[in-house]
Structures are given as C-alpha cells and as structure tokens.
C-alpha cells in the first residue's frame, strides 16, 4: 500500500472512531415521583425548622432587650429611692425639727410631759 492510501485509511478509521464516540449516550438515573416528593418534604421540613430557629432567636433577643430595660429602670428607681432616704434623714434631724417648732412658737413645758412605760 502506498503512503497516501495508508493515510486515507487511517483518516477513515479515525472518523469512524469519532462517530462511534459521539453516538454514546449517557443515561442519568431517573428519580421516581415518590423520591421527589420525599426530597421536597424533607426540604420543606428543613426550611421550616430554620425559620422556627430564627424566629425563636429573634423572640429571645427581644425578651433580653426588655429585661435589660426593666433592670435599668429598677436601677434608676433604686438610686432615686436612696436619694430620697438621704433627704428624709436630713429633714428629720432633731435640730431642724426643734428650729421649726421654735419658729412656730412651740416650746417645752415640763408640766405637760408624760412618761410612758412599756
């Protein structure tokens, strides 16, 4: 055989291989309807669980925020109560009461004092 004939024959052989390779069809595994429904159900359940977790975390965040606000209010009220107690102690001093009584014209009368025993 001559070189040209050999080249033509090789070319024809390569063309046949390419054609046979091109006709190969790869089939995918088919999924049944039941499996599709099962996968959809699982996907919906996972989505629902994720949404539930996020909503619970949001509710917990809001509750913690409210708790912190109430604690801050309690702390402010405690400070106000302490200030008022100091003011009560200051206003109920014996010297102040005696000065106000003297200004109003009240005085001590030993004859008018009664001693009470327990």
Mean pLDDT of 92-111: 86
The C-alpha angle 69, 74, 76, rounded to 5 degrees, equals 95
Q: If you ran DSSP here, which 8-state letter would residue 27 be given?
A: P
Please tell me which residue, 5 or 43, carries the higher pLDDT value: 43
57-96 confidence digits (pLDDT tens): 999 999 999 999 999 999 999 999 999 999 999 998 989 9
Residues whose CB falls within 8 Å of the CB of residue 101, separated by 6 or more in sequence, listed in order: 107
């Amino acid at each position: 055989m001559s070189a040209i004939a050999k080249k033509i024959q090789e070319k024809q052989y390569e063309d046949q291989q390419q054609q046979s390779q091109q006709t190969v069809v790869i089939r995918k595994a088919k999924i049944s309807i039941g499996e599709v429904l099962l996968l959809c159900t699982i996907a919906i359940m996972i989505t629902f669980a994720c949404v539930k977790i996020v909503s619970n975390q949001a509710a917990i965040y809001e509750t913690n925020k409210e708790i912190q606000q109430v604690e801050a209010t309690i702390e402010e009220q405690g400070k106000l109560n302490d200030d008022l107690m100091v003011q009560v102690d200051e206003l109920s001093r014996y010297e102040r009461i005696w000065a106000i009584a003297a200004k109003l014209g009240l005085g001590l009368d030993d004859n008018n004092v009664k001693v009470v025993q327990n």
